[in-house]
């Protein structure tokens, strides 16, 4: 789906089909492919934590997944929140999402980018991609099917994460996807997410903070 519908919108491969690297394929298979047996509308995973060094395409991958969710059939009225410490940072992934949609005629026919508000809206549906930040009080008003929390290591506290996390509790198949580069503060949200991810994978050497 990625190379058929999406192109790179930044860097040396701009304009070329978005062919996933091997590690990206594994990530997409896990989040988009695994379903609950007997109910393909329910994803196996509800939480994900992706930590890779800078300039490895994690933000563009997150943007591509966001587009796929917006036009996918599993969530007819998908609502996605793109979140970060501030609105400018949260808008980075939105910029990729918007550019990907504009570069594909079929996607653009279904989704309308509103760049002034950093939103994508379904042209004939209730599908929505919206940006919020740690300083935004309106995060309490949403019930997003997907949350993409960018640069988790820069979050000053867990308030935004907790608000968005609890807003998904009544949903059937939500996803809280946190992405980050390395950080240094062990008394932080990012450290806790990393430690819990290791523990979930069977690594007991690091206990959650």
Percent of the chain clearing pLDDT 70 (strictly above) = 89
- Mean pLDDT of the region 114-141: 83
Q: pLDDT at position 128, please? A: 93
Q: Phi and psi (nearest 5°) for 20?
A: -70, 140
φ/ψ (deg, to 5) at 50: -115, 120
Among the listed residues 83, 48, 90, the one whose alpha carbon sits nearest the alpha carbon of residue 200:
48
Cβ pair 120, 98 in contact under 8 A = yes
| Tens-digit pLDDT profile for residues 69-83 | 898 877 778 889 988
How many whole angstroms separate alpha carbon 102 and alpha carbon 60? 15
Supply the pLDDT for residue 187. Answer: 65
Model pLDDT, residue 139: 60
pLDDT, mean of residues 152-174 = 82
207: pLDDT strictly greater than 70: no
For strand 119-122 and strand 47-51, is the pairing parallel, antiparallel, or unpaired? unpaired
pLDDT over 90 at 53, yes or no: no
pLDDT of residue 111: 95
Contact (CB, 8 A) for 90 and 133: yes
- Is the pLDDT higher at 198 or at 9? 9
* 18-27, 103-112, 171-180: the lowest-pLDDT one: 171-180
Beta strands in 34-190 (DSSP E): 35-36, 39-43, 47-51, 79-84, 111-114, 119-122, 128-133, 146-149, 175-180
Quote the pTM value. Answer: 0.84
Q: Would you say how long the chain is, in residues?
A: 209
Least confident of 33-37, 87-91, 133-137, 161-165: 133-137
Q: What is the mean pLDDT of the chain?
A: 83
β-pair partners for 82 = 131, 148
| pLDDT for residue 113 is more than 50 | yes
């Amino acid at each position: 789906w990625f190379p058929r519908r999406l192109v790179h919108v930044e860097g040396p491969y701009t304009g070329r089909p978005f062919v996933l690297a091997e590690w990206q394929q594994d990530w997409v298979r896990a989040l988009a492919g695994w379903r609950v047996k007997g109910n393909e509308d329910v994803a196996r995973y509800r939480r994900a934590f992706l930590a890779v060094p800078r300039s490895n395409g994690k933000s563009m991958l997150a943007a591509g997944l966001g587009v796929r969710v917006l036009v996918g059939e599993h969530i007819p009225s998908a609502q996605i929140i793109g979140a970060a410490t501030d609105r400018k940072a949260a808008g980075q992934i939105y910029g990729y999402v918007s550019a990907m949609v504009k570069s594909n005629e079929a996607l653009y026919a279904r989704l309308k980018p509103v760049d002034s508000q950093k939103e994508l809206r379904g042209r004939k549906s209730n599908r929505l991609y919206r940006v919020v930040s740690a300083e935004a009080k309106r995060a309490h008003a949403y019930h997003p099917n997907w949350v993409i929390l960018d640069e988790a290591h820069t979050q000053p506290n867990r308030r935004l994460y907790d608000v968005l996390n609890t807003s998904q509790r009544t949903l059937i198949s939500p996803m809280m996807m946190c992405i980050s580069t390395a950080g240094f503060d062990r008394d932080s949200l990012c450290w806790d997410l990393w430690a819990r991810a290791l523990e979930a994978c069977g690594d007991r050497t690091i206990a959650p903070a």
